[in-house]
Amino acid sequence: MGINAQWLTFLSIVSWVVFSFMVAVIAFYSFLLLVSLFQLRRSYQLDEWEPYEELLDVSYAKPISILVPVYNESAGIFGTVRSLLSIEYPEYEIMVINDGSTDDTLAKLIESFQLVRTNKVIRQQLKTKPVKAVYRSKLYRHLFVIDKENGGKADALNAGINVSRYPYFCSIDGDSVLERSAFLKVMKPIIDSDGEVIASGGSIRIANGCEIERGEIVKVGLSRHPLVVMQVIEYLRAFLMGRIGLSRHNLLLIVSGAFGVFSKRWVIEAGGYAHTVGEDMELVVRLHRLIKERKESKKIVYVPDPVCWTEAPESLKYLRRQRRRWHRGLLESLWIHRCIIFNPKYGSIGLVSMPYFFFIEFLGPVVELAGYIIMIVSLFLGGIYIEFAILLFLLSVIYGSIFSMVAVLLEEWTVRKFPNVSDIVRLFLFSFTESLWYRPLTVWWRCEGIIDALRKKRGWGEMERKGVSK
Protein backbone atom coordinates (compact mmCIF):
# COMPACT_ATOMS: atom_id res chain seq x y z
CA MET A 1 0.00 0.00 0.00
CA GLY A 2 1.44 3.37 -1.02
CA ILE A 3 1.81 6.44 1.14
CA ASN A 4 -1.15 8.17 -0.48
CA ALA A 5 -3.36 5.13 0.09
CA GLN A 6 -2.32 4.97 3.75
CA TRP A 7 -3.11 8.64 4.14
CA LEU A 8 -6.53 8.22 2.55
CA THR A 9 -7.27 5.25 4.82
CA PHE A 10 -6.30 7.29 7.86
CA LEU A 11 -8.42 10.21 6.67
CA SER A 12 -11.37 7.89 6.13
CA ILE A 13 -11.11 6.41 9.65
CA VAL A 14 -10.84 9.85 11.28
CA SER A 15 -13.75 11.11 9.18
CA TRP A 16 -16.03 8.32 10.34
CA VAL A 17 -14.95 8.83 13.97
CA VAL A 18 -15.84 12.53 13.70
CA PHE A 19 -19.12 11.71 11.93
CA SER A 20 -20.12 9.13 14.57
CA PHE A 21 -19.19 11.51 17.41
CA MET A 22 -21.26 14.37 15.99
CA VAL A 23 -24.29 12.12 15.43
CA ALA A 24 -24.05 10.87 19.03
CA VAL A 25 -23.74 14.41 20.37
CA ILE A 26 -26.71 15.63 18.33
CA ALA A 27 -28.78 12.72 19.67
CA PHE A 28 -27.77 13.52 23.27
CA TYR A 29 -28.52 17.24 22.89
CA SER A 30 -31.84 16.43 21.27
CA PHE A 31 -32.73 14.41 24.37
CA LEU A 32 -31.69 17.32 26.63
CA LEU A 33 -33.77 19.65 24.46
CA LEU A 34 -36.91 17.54 24.89
CA VAL A 35 -36.40 17.31 28.66
CA SER A 36 -35.82 21.08 28.86
CA LEU A 37 -38.86 21.79 26.72
CA PHE A 38 -41.26 19.89 28.98
CA GLN A 39 -39.63 21.19 32.16
CA LEU A 40 -39.78 24.82 31.05
CA ARG A 41 -43.40 24.64 29.97
CA ARG A 42 -44.39 23.00 33.24
CA SER A 43 -42.56 25.68 35.22
CA TYR A 44 -43.94 28.66 33.33
CA GLN A 45 -47.54 27.51 33.41
CA LEU A 46 -47.38 28.47 37.09
CA ASP A 47 -48.25 31.98 38.21
CA GLU A 48 -45.14 34.17 38.05
CA TRP A 49 -45.52 35.69 41.53
CA GLU A 50 -47.87 33.71 43.73
CA PRO A 51 -45.58 30.70 44.47
CA TYR A 52 -42.88 33.03 45.88
CA GLU A 53 -45.00 35.46 47.89
CA GLU A 54 -45.06 33.25 51.00
CA LEU A 55 -41.24 33.28 51.13
CA LEU A 56 -41.35 36.93 52.22
CA ASP A 57 -42.53 35.63 55.59
CA VAL A 58 -39.45 35.72 57.87
CA SER A 59 -40.58 32.67 59.83
CA TYR A 60 -40.75 30.59 56.65
CA ALA A 61 -37.65 31.70 54.76
CA LYS A 62 -34.11 30.60 55.57
CA PRO A 63 -31.57 33.40 56.18
CA ILE A 64 -28.70 33.62 53.74
CA SER A 65 -25.23 35.14 53.57
CA ILE A 66 -24.32 36.72 50.22
CA LEU A 67 -20.59 36.46 49.48
CA VAL A 68 -19.09 38.82 46.90
CA PRO A 69 -15.37 38.13 46.26
CA VAL A 70 -13.74 41.11 44.54
CA TYR A 71 -10.32 41.86 43.14
CA ASN A 72 -9.85 45.19 41.32
CA GLU A 73 -13.60 45.52 40.66
CA SER A 74 -13.77 49.29 41.17
CA ALA A 75 -15.68 49.82 37.92
CA GLY A 76 -18.70 47.71 38.84
CA ILE A 77 -18.67 47.03 42.59
CA PHE A 78 -20.97 49.93 43.55
CA GLY A 79 -23.73 48.73 41.21
CA THR A 80 -23.38 45.15 42.41
CA VAL A 81 -23.73 46.09 46.08
CA ARG A 82 -26.61 48.46 45.32
CA SER A 83 -28.47 45.67 43.53
CA LEU A 84 -27.98 43.35 46.52
CA LEU A 85 -29.23 45.98 48.97
CA SER A 86 -32.51 46.22 47.07
CA ILE A 87 -33.32 42.51 46.69
CA GLU A 88 -36.61 41.10 47.95
CA TYR A 89 -35.73 38.67 50.70
CA PRO A 90 -36.66 38.80 54.40
CA GLU A 91 -33.32 38.10 56.11
CA TYR A 92 -29.81 38.23 54.67
CA GLU A 93 -26.35 39.70 55.09
CA ILE A 94 -23.97 40.93 52.41
CA MET A 95 -20.28 40.19 52.73
CA VAL A 96 -17.96 41.77 50.18
CA ILE A 97 -14.52 40.11 50.38
CA ASN A 98 -11.76 42.41 49.13
CA ASP A 99 -9.05 39.98 48.09
CA GLY A 100 -6.08 42.33 48.25
CA SER A 101 -7.22 44.65 45.45
CA THR A 102 -4.53 46.99 44.12
CA ASP A 103 -7.00 49.59 42.81
CA ASP A 104 -9.45 51.77 44.78
CA THR A 105 -12.11 49.06 45.27
CA LEU A 106 -11.87 49.17 49.08
CA ALA A 107 -11.69 52.97 49.24
CA LYS A 108 -14.78 53.28 47.01
CA LEU A 109 -16.71 50.85 49.24
CA ILE A 110 -15.69 52.68 52.43
CA GLU A 111 -16.72 56.05 51.00
CA SER A 112 -19.93 54.95 49.26
CA PHE A 113 -21.41 52.95 52.15
CA GLN A 114 -19.81 54.70 55.16
CA LEU A 115 -17.91 51.66 56.39
CA VAL A 116 -16.29 51.54 59.83
CA ARG A 117 -14.06 48.85 61.31
CA THR A 118 -15.81 46.41 63.60
CA ASN A 119 -14.79 43.57 65.89
CA LYS A 120 -16.28 40.39 64.50
CA VAL A 121 -15.57 36.84 65.65
CA ILE A 122 -14.08 34.74 62.85
CA ARG A 123 -14.42 30.98 63.10
CA GLN A 124 -11.50 29.40 61.21
CA GLN A 125 -13.50 26.50 59.79
CA LEU A 126 -11.61 26.78 56.49
CA LYS A 127 -7.97 27.76 56.13
CA THR A 128 -7.43 31.11 54.36
CA LYS A 129 -4.99 33.96 53.96
CA PRO A 130 -5.03 36.40 56.94
CA VAL A 131 -7.98 38.78 57.29
CA LYS A 132 -6.71 42.31 57.88
CA ALA A 133 -9.99 43.96 58.88
CA VAL A 134 -13.77 43.63 58.86
CA TYR A 135 -15.89 46.71 58.14
CA ARG A 136 -19.59 47.34 58.71
CA SER A 137 -21.78 49.94 57.03
CA LYS A 138 -23.33 52.67 59.16
CA LEU A 139 -26.06 53.03 56.53
CA TYR A 140 -26.91 49.35 56.06
CA ARG A 141 -26.27 47.24 59.14
CA HIS A 142 -26.38 43.99 57.17
CA LEU A 143 -23.53 45.07 54.85
CA PHE A 144 -19.99 43.95 55.74
CA VAL A 145 -16.67 44.21 53.90
CA ILE A 146 -13.83 41.80 54.66
CA ASP A 147 -10.37 43.09 53.76
CA LYS A 148 -7.82 40.29 53.41
CA GLU A 149 -4.51 39.42 51.84
CA ASN A 150 -4.65 38.24 48.24
CA GLY A 151 -5.21 34.51 47.95
CA GLY A 152 -7.45 34.06 44.91
CA LYS A 153 -11.20 33.71 44.46
CA ALA A 154 -11.48 30.37 46.27
CA ASP A 155 -9.57 31.73 49.26
CA ALA A 156 -11.79 34.82 49.36
CA LEU A 157 -14.95 32.71 49.34
CA ASN A 158 -13.60 30.49 52.12
CA ALA A 159 -12.87 33.62 54.18
CA GLY A 160 -16.42 34.79 53.59
CA ILE A 161 -17.76 31.42 54.75
CA ASN A 162 -15.69 31.70 57.95
CA VAL A 163 -17.06 35.17 58.75
CA SER A 164 -20.67 34.56 57.69
CA ARG A 165 -23.27 33.57 60.28
CA TYR A 166 -26.18 32.11 58.28
CA PRO A 167 -26.72 28.42 57.29
CA TYR A 168 -26.83 29.12 53.54
CA PHE A 169 -24.56 31.28 51.44
CA CYS A 170 -24.65 32.58 47.90
CA SER A 171 -21.59 33.41 45.81
CA ILE A 172 -21.95 36.44 43.52
CA ASP A 173 -19.35 37.86 41.14
CA GLY A 174 -18.26 41.42 41.76
CA ASP A 175 -19.41 42.60 38.31
CA SER A 176 -22.93 41.19 38.55
CA VAL A 177 -26.42 42.66 39.05
CA LEU A 178 -29.31 40.60 40.43
CA GLU A 179 -32.99 40.92 39.65
CA ARG A 180 -34.90 41.90 42.79
CA SER A 181 -36.86 38.65 43.09
CA ALA A 182 -33.91 36.39 42.19
CA PHE A 183 -33.26 35.15 45.72
CA LEU A 184 -36.89 34.28 46.37
CA LYS A 185 -36.82 32.08 43.28
CA VAL A 186 -33.41 30.46 43.71
CA MET A 187 -34.11 29.65 47.39
CA LYS A 188 -37.56 28.15 46.79
CA PRO A 189 -36.38 24.60 45.90
CA ILE A 190 -34.08 24.60 48.95
CA ILE A 191 -36.88 25.67 51.29
CA ASP A 192 -39.52 23.40 49.75
CA SER A 193 -37.25 20.33 49.83
CA ASP A 194 -36.69 20.58 53.60
CA GLY A 195 -32.94 19.96 53.32
CA GLU A 196 -32.93 17.56 50.36
CA VAL A 197 -31.62 20.25 47.98
CA ILE A 198 -28.19 21.40 49.20
CA ALA A 199 -27.30 23.70 46.29
CA SER A 200 -29.26 25.73 43.77
CA GLY A 201 -28.13 27.83 40.83
CA GLY A 202 -29.85 30.48 38.75
CA SER A 203 -29.37 31.76 35.20
CA ILE A 204 -26.58 34.05 34.06
CA ARG A 205 -27.40 36.63 31.39
CA ILE A 206 -25.32 39.25 29.58
CA ALA A 207 -25.74 42.79 30.93
CA ASN A 208 -24.02 44.55 28.00
CA GLY A 209 -26.69 46.54 26.20
CA CYS A 210 -29.04 46.73 29.20
CA GLU A 211 -29.91 49.96 31.01
CA ILE A 212 -28.85 49.62 34.64
CA GLU A 213 -29.16 52.42 37.18
CA ARG A 214 -28.09 52.25 40.83
CA GLY A 215 -27.76 48.49 40.72
CA GLU A 216 -31.15 47.72 39.17
CA ILE A 217 -32.16 46.59 35.68
CA VAL A 218 -34.18 49.43 34.18
CA LYS A 219 -34.49 48.03 30.68
CA VAL A 220 -33.31 44.77 29.14
CA GLY A 221 -31.59 45.32 25.82
CA LEU A 222 -29.25 43.64 23.37
CA SER A 223 -25.75 44.91 22.66
CA ARG A 224 -24.89 46.09 19.15
CA HIS A 225 -21.54 44.28 19.33
CA PRO A 226 -21.67 41.00 17.30
CA LEU A 227 -19.29 39.24 19.71
CA VAL A 228 -21.56 40.04 22.67
CA VAL A 229 -24.67 38.94 20.77
CA MET A 230 -23.08 35.56 20.12
CA GLN A 231 -22.28 35.21 23.83
CA VAL A 232 -25.93 35.96 24.67
CA ILE A 233 -26.96 33.10 22.37
CA GLU A 234 -24.30 30.84 23.85
CA TYR A 235 -25.57 31.52 27.40
CA LEU A 236 -29.18 30.85 26.36
CA ARG A 237 -28.16 27.52 24.88
CA ALA A 238 -26.04 26.48 27.89
CA PHE A 239 -28.63 27.37 30.51
CA LEU A 240 -32.03 26.81 28.84
CA MET A 241 -31.02 23.53 27.18
CA GLY A 242 -28.00 21.99 28.89
CA ARG A 243 -28.47 22.75 32.57
CA ILE A 244 -32.24 22.24 32.69
CA GLY A 245 -31.88 18.79 31.14
CA LEU A 246 -29.05 17.73 33.44
CA SER A 247 -30.71 19.18 36.55
CA ARG A 248 -33.93 17.27 35.87
CA HIS A 249 -32.09 14.00 36.63
CA ASN A 250 -29.70 15.35 39.31
CA LEU A 251 -26.77 15.24 36.88
CA LEU A 252 -25.75 18.89 37.21
CA LEU A 253 -22.01 19.37 37.75
CA ILE A 254 -21.87 23.16 37.42
CA VAL A 255 -23.52 25.79 39.59
CA SER A 256 -22.16 29.05 38.24
CA GLY A 257 -19.81 30.93 40.54
CA ALA A 258 -21.59 34.10 39.44
CA PHE A 259 -24.88 33.04 41.10
CA GLY A 260 -25.20 29.90 43.24
CA VAL A 261 -26.63 29.09 46.69
CA PHE A 262 -25.09 26.38 48.88
CA SER A 263 -25.65 24.75 52.26
CA LYS A 264 -22.75 26.03 54.37
CA ARG A 265 -22.59 22.85 56.45
CA TRP A 266 -22.16 20.63 53.40
CA VAL A 267 -19.56 22.90 51.82
CA ILE A 268 -17.50 23.00 55.03
CA GLU A 269 -17.69 19.21 55.35
CA ALA A 270 -16.52 18.94 51.74
CA GLY A 271 -13.52 21.13 52.57
CA GLY A 272 -14.64 24.45 51.11
CA TYR A 273 -13.52 25.89 47.80
CA ALA A 274 -10.32 24.45 46.32
CA HIS A 275 -7.60 26.57 44.74
CA THR A 276 -8.40 25.63 41.17
CA VAL A 277 -9.22 27.68 38.06
CA GLY A 278 -12.73 26.19 37.91
CA GLU A 279 -13.46 26.30 41.64
CA ASP A 280 -17.24 26.43 41.13
CA MET A 281 -17.44 23.18 39.13
CA GLU A 282 -14.85 21.41 41.29
CA LEU A 283 -16.88 22.14 44.44
CA VAL A 284 -20.10 20.80 42.89
CA VAL A 285 -18.37 17.60 41.75
CA ARG A 286 -16.88 17.18 45.24
CA LEU A 287 -20.33 17.66 46.80
CA HIS A 288 -21.81 15.00 44.50
CA ARG A 289 -18.95 12.72 45.43
CA LEU A 290 -19.54 13.30 49.16
CA ILE A 291 -23.27 12.65 48.75
CA LYS A 292 -22.68 9.33 46.98
CA GLU A 293 -19.99 8.18 49.42
CA ARG A 294 -22.31 8.87 52.36
CA LYS A 295 -25.24 7.30 50.50
CA GLU A 296 -27.35 10.41 51.12
CA SER A 297 -30.36 11.44 49.04
CA LYS A 298 -29.40 15.03 48.28
CA LYS A 299 -29.85 17.12 45.15
CA ILE A 300 -28.12 19.98 43.34
CA VAL A 301 -30.55 21.82 41.06
CA TYR A 302 -30.78 24.58 38.48
CA VAL A 303 -33.64 27.12 38.51
CA PRO A 304 -34.05 28.90 35.14
CA ASP A 305 -36.08 31.95 36.18
CA PRO A 306 -33.88 33.82 38.72
CA VAL A 307 -31.39 35.84 36.71
CA CYS A 308 -28.04 37.37 37.50
CA TRP A 309 -26.80 39.85 34.90
CA THR A 310 -23.05 40.01 34.31
CA GLU A 311 -20.60 41.83 32.06
CA ALA A 312 -19.30 39.94 29.02
CA PRO A 313 -15.99 40.50 27.20
CA GLU A 314 -16.34 42.74 24.14
CA SER A 315 -12.96 42.01 22.55
CA LEU A 316 -11.53 38.85 21.01
CA LYS A 317 -8.49 39.16 23.28
CA TYR A 318 -10.39 38.91 26.56
CA LEU A 319 -13.01 36.44 25.30
CA ARG A 320 -10.23 34.13 24.13
CA ARG A 321 -8.55 34.41 27.52
CA GLN A 322 -11.82 33.60 29.30
CA ARG A 323 -12.61 30.52 27.18
CA ARG A 324 -9.11 29.13 27.50
CA ARG A 325 -9.36 29.51 31.28
CA TRP A 326 -12.80 27.89 31.42
CA HIS A 327 -11.61 24.84 29.49
CA ARG A 328 -8.50 24.58 31.62
CA GLY A 329 -10.72 24.65 34.71
CA LEU A 330 -12.93 21.91 33.23
CA LEU A 331 -9.93 19.63 32.73
CA GLU A 332 -8.68 20.40 36.22
CA SER A 333 -11.98 19.37 37.81
CA LEU A 334 -12.23 16.22 35.70
CA TRP A 335 -8.65 15.22 36.50
CA ILE A 336 -9.02 15.75 40.26
CA HIS A 337 -12.11 13.51 40.30
CA ARG A 338 -11.12 11.12 37.48
CA CYS A 339 -11.83 8.10 39.70
CA ILE A 340 -15.56 8.85 39.39
CA ILE A 341 -15.72 8.38 35.61
CA PHE A 342 -17.49 5.10 34.74
CA ASN A 343 -17.45 4.14 38.43
CA PRO A 344 -20.83 2.52 39.32
CA LYS A 345 -20.24 3.43 42.98
CA TYR A 346 -21.20 7.01 42.07
CA GLY A 347 -24.38 6.09 40.22
CA SER A 348 -25.56 8.33 37.40
CA ILE A 349 -22.90 10.95 38.21
CA GLY A 350 -20.14 8.43 37.44
CA LEU A 351 -21.89 6.64 34.57
CA VAL A 352 -23.56 9.56 32.76
CA SER A 353 -22.64 13.04 33.95
CA MET A 354 -18.85 12.75 34.28
CA PRO A 355 -18.48 10.86 30.94
CA TYR A 356 -20.66 13.55 29.30
CA PHE A 357 -18.42 16.35 30.54
CA PHE A 358 -15.28 14.43 29.60
CA PHE A 359 -16.17 13.16 26.13
CA ILE A 360 -18.56 15.90 24.92
CA GLU A 361 -17.60 19.06 26.79
CA PHE A 362 -13.85 18.47 27.16
CA LEU A 363 -12.88 16.32 24.15
CA GLY A 364 -15.63 17.73 21.92
CA PRO A 365 -13.56 20.72 20.71
CA VAL A 366 -10.71 18.40 19.66
CA VAL A 367 -13.08 16.26 17.57
CA GLU A 368 -14.77 19.37 16.12
CA LEU A 369 -11.39 20.83 15.17
CA ALA A 370 -10.54 17.55 13.43
CA GLY A 371 -13.85 17.85 11.59
CA TYR A 372 -13.02 21.35 10.33
CA ILE A 373 -9.61 20.15 9.13
CA ILE A 374 -11.20 17.17 7.35
CA MET A 375 -13.72 19.45 5.61
CA ILE A 376 -10.92 21.67 4.28
CA VAL A 377 -8.73 18.72 3.16
CA SER A 378 -11.70 16.98 1.51
CA LEU A 379 -12.35 19.98 -0.72
CA PHE A 380 -8.90 19.49 -2.27
CA LEU A 381 -9.26 15.73 -2.66
CA GLY A 382 -12.44 15.96 -4.71
CA GLY A 383 -14.79 13.10 -5.58
CA ILE A 384 -16.63 11.40 -2.73
CA TYR A 385 -14.68 13.41 -0.17
CA ILE A 386 -16.47 16.61 -1.20
CA GLU A 387 -19.79 14.92 -0.46
CA PHE A 388 -18.45 13.84 2.93
CA ALA A 389 -17.26 17.39 3.62
CA ILE A 390 -20.76 18.71 2.85
CA LEU A 391 -22.26 16.10 5.18
CA LEU A 392 -19.91 17.10 8.01
CA PHE A 393 -20.72 20.75 7.43
CA LEU A 394 -24.46 20.09 7.64
CA LEU A 395 -23.94 18.18 10.89
CA SER A 396 -21.89 21.06 12.31
CA VAL A 397 -24.71 23.47 11.39
CA ILE A 398 -27.22 21.27 13.23
CA TYR A 399 -24.84 20.87 16.19
CA GLY A 400 -24.12 24.61 16.34
CA SER A 401 -26.58 26.93 14.68
CA ILE A 402 -29.82 24.93 14.81
CA PHE A 403 -29.62 24.18 18.53
CA SER A 404 -28.77 27.82 19.20
CA MET A 405 -31.77 28.95 17.15
CA VAL A 406 -33.97 26.60 19.18
CA ALA A 407 -32.53 28.08 22.40
CA VAL A 408 -33.55 31.56 21.22
CA LEU A 409 -37.07 30.30 20.52
CA LEU A 410 -37.17 28.73 24.00
CA GLU A 411 -36.24 32.12 25.47
CA GLU A 412 -39.13 33.80 23.68
CA TRP A 413 -41.55 30.96 24.45
CA THR A 414 -40.92 30.84 28.19
CA VAL A 415 -38.62 33.29 30.01
CA ARG A 416 -39.17 36.31 27.72
CA LYS A 417 -36.50 38.54 29.21
CA PHE A 418 -36.12 40.52 25.97
CA PRO A 419 -39.13 42.86 25.57
CA ASN A 420 -38.29 44.01 22.03
CA VAL A 421 -39.22 41.72 19.15
CA SER A 422 -36.33 43.18 17.16
CA ASP A 423 -33.87 41.78 19.74
CA ILE A 424 -35.30 38.28 19.36
CA VAL A 425 -35.11 38.56 15.58
CA ARG A 426 -31.46 39.68 15.77
CA LEU A 427 -30.64 36.79 18.13
CA PHE A 428 -32.34 34.34 15.79
CA LEU A 429 -30.48 35.63 12.72
CA PHE A 430 -27.12 35.73 14.49
CA SER A 431 -27.58 32.17 15.77
CA PHE A 432 -27.91 31.02 12.16
CA THR A 433 -24.35 32.28 11.50
CA GLU A 434 -22.78 30.63 14.58
CA SER A 435 -21.27 27.66 12.73
CA LEU A 436 -19.69 29.94 10.13
CA TRP A 437 -17.43 31.99 12.42
CA TYR A 438 -18.14 32.04 16.17
CA ARG A 439 -18.14 28.33 16.93
CA PRO A 440 -14.87 27.61 15.08
CA LEU A 441 -13.27 30.42 17.10
CA THR A 442 -14.42 29.02 20.45
CA VAL A 443 -13.41 25.50 19.39
CA TRP A 444 -9.88 26.72 18.68
CA TRP A 445 -9.70 28.66 21.98
CA ARG A 446 -10.86 25.64 23.97
CA CYS A 447 -8.20 23.51 22.29
CA GLU A 448 -5.70 26.16 23.33
CA GLY A 449 -7.03 25.74 26.85
CA ILE A 450 -6.10 22.04 26.71
CA ILE A 451 -2.59 23.00 25.63
CA ASP A 452 -2.42 25.50 28.51
CA ALA A 453 -3.43 22.76 30.94
CA LEU A 454 -0.83 20.33 29.59
CA ARG A 455 1.79 23.07 29.97
CA LYS A 456 0.54 23.52 33.57
CA LYS A 457 -0.30 27.17 33.08
CA ARG A 458 -1.64 28.78 36.25
CA GLY A 459 -3.61 31.89 37.10
CA TRP A 460 -6.69 33.63 35.73
CA GLY A 461 -5.14 36.37 33.62
CA GLU A 462 -6.31 39.98 33.65
CA MET A 463 -9.81 40.76 32.40
CA GLU A 464 -11.03 44.16 31.23
CA ARG A 465 -13.92 45.61 33.26
CA LYS A 466 -15.92 48.58 32.02
CA GLY A 467 -18.66 48.27 34.63
CA VAL A 468 -22.32 47.51 33.89
CA SER A 469 -23.94 49.88 36.36
CA LYS A 470 -24.29 53.60 36.75
Percent with pLDDT over 70 in the chain: 91
Q: What is the pLDDT of residue 2?
A: 47
The CATH number assigned to the domain holding 174 equals 3.90.550.10
Does 86 share its domain with 21?
no
pLDDT at site 239? 86
pTM here is 0.90
Q: What is the pLDDT of residues 165-180, one digit of tens each?
A: 999 999 988 778 888 8
Which is higher by pLDDT, 74 or 385? 74
Q: What is the mean pLDDT of residues 374-403?
A: 81
In this model, does residue 199 exceed pLDDT 90?
yes
pLDDT at 240: 81
Residues 161 and 176 reside in one and the same domain: yes
Q: Is residue 461 part of a domain?
A: no
Same structural domain, 89 and 26: no
Residues 274 and 371 occupy one common structural domain: no
The predicted model gives 35-55 an average pLDDT of 63
Pair 413, 265 in one domain: no
* Mean pLDDT in residue range 321-331: 94
pLDDT higher than 50, residue 268: yes
- In this model, does residue 49 exceed pLDDT 60? no
Report the number of distinct structural domains present in the chain.
2
Q: Is residue 227 part of a domain?
A: yes
Q: Percent of the chain at pLDDT above 90?
A: 51
Q: How far is CA 168 from CA 87, 294, 300, in A?
A: 16, 21, 14
76 or 233: which carries more pLDDT confidence? Answer: 233
Tell whether 320 and 416 lie within a shared domain. Answer: no
- Mean pLDDT, the chain, whole residue set: 88
pLDDT at residue 9 in the model: 83
Would you say residue 34 lies in a domain? yes
User: Looking at residue 46, what is its pLDDT?
Assistant: 47
Q: What is the pLDDT of residue 136?
A: 96
pLDDT, position 198:
96
Q: Render pLDDT for 346-361 as a digit per residue (tens, 0 to 9).
A: 999 999 999 999 999 9
Residue 128: is its pLDDT beyond 70?
Answer: yes
Task: Examine the domain organization and report whether 246 and 200 are in the same domain.
Answer: yes
pLDDT of residue 62: 87
In a domain, 343, yes or no: yes
Among residues 299, 314, 347, the one where a domain terminates is 347
**pLDDT tens-digit readout, 66-118:** 999 999 988 888 888 988 998 889 899 999 999 999 999 999 999 999 999 99
Domain boundary among the residues 313, 330, 347 is at 347
pLDDT band of 55, cuts 50, 70, 90: low
- The range of the structural domain enclosing residue 92 comes to 47-347
Least confident of 55-69, 124-138, 216-230, 455-469: 455-469
pLDDT score of 47 = 45
Q: Which residue has the higher pLDDT, 15 or 101?
A: 101
- Which of 159-163, 204-208, 457-461, 462-466 has the highest mean predicted lDDT (pLDDT)? 159-163
Mean pLDDT of 227-244: 90
Mean pLDDT of 256-264: 90
Are 271 and 378 contained in the same domain?
no
Q: Are residues 184 and 108 in the same domain?
A: yes
Binned at pLDDT 50, 70 and 90, residue 192 comes out as confident
Does the residue 177 lie in any domain? yes
**176 in a structural domain:** yes
Q: What is the pLDDT of residue 51?
A: 55
pLDDT at position 175, please? 76
SS3 assignment for the chain: CCHHHHHHHHHHHHHHHHHHHHHHHHHHHHHHHHHHHHHHHHHHCCCCCHHHHHHHCCCCCCCEEEEEEECCCCCCHHHHHHHHHCCCCCCEEEEEEEECCCCCHHHHHHHHHCEEECCCCCCCCCCCCCEEEEEEECCCCCEEEEEECCCCHHHHHHHHHHHCCCCEEEEECCCEEECCCHHHHHHHHHHHHCCCEEEEEEEEEECCCCEEECCEEEECCCCCCHHHHHHHHHHHHHHHHHHHHHHHCCCCCCCCCCEEEEEHHHHHHHCCCCCCCCHHHHHHHHHHHHHHHCCCCCEEEEEEEEEEEECCCCCHHHHHHHHHHHHHHHHHHHHHCHHHCCCHHHHHHHHHHHHHHHHHHHCHHHHHHHHHHHHHHHHHHCCHHHHHHHHHHHHHHHHHHHHHHHHHHHHHHHHCCCCCHHHHHHHHHHHHCHHHCHHHHHHHHHHHHHHHHHCCCCCCCCCCCCCCCC
Is 217 found in the same domain as 98?
yes
104 and 12 within one domain:
no
pLDDT grade for 1, boundaries at 50, 70 and 90: very low
* 201 within domain boundaries: yes
Most confident of 80-84, 323-327, 414-418: 323-327
Tell whether 215 and 175 lie within a shared domain: yes
Give the mean model confidence (pLDDT) for residues 52-69. 75
pLDDT at 462: 62
Q: How confident is the model at residue 254 (pLDDT cuts 50, 70, 90)?
A: very high
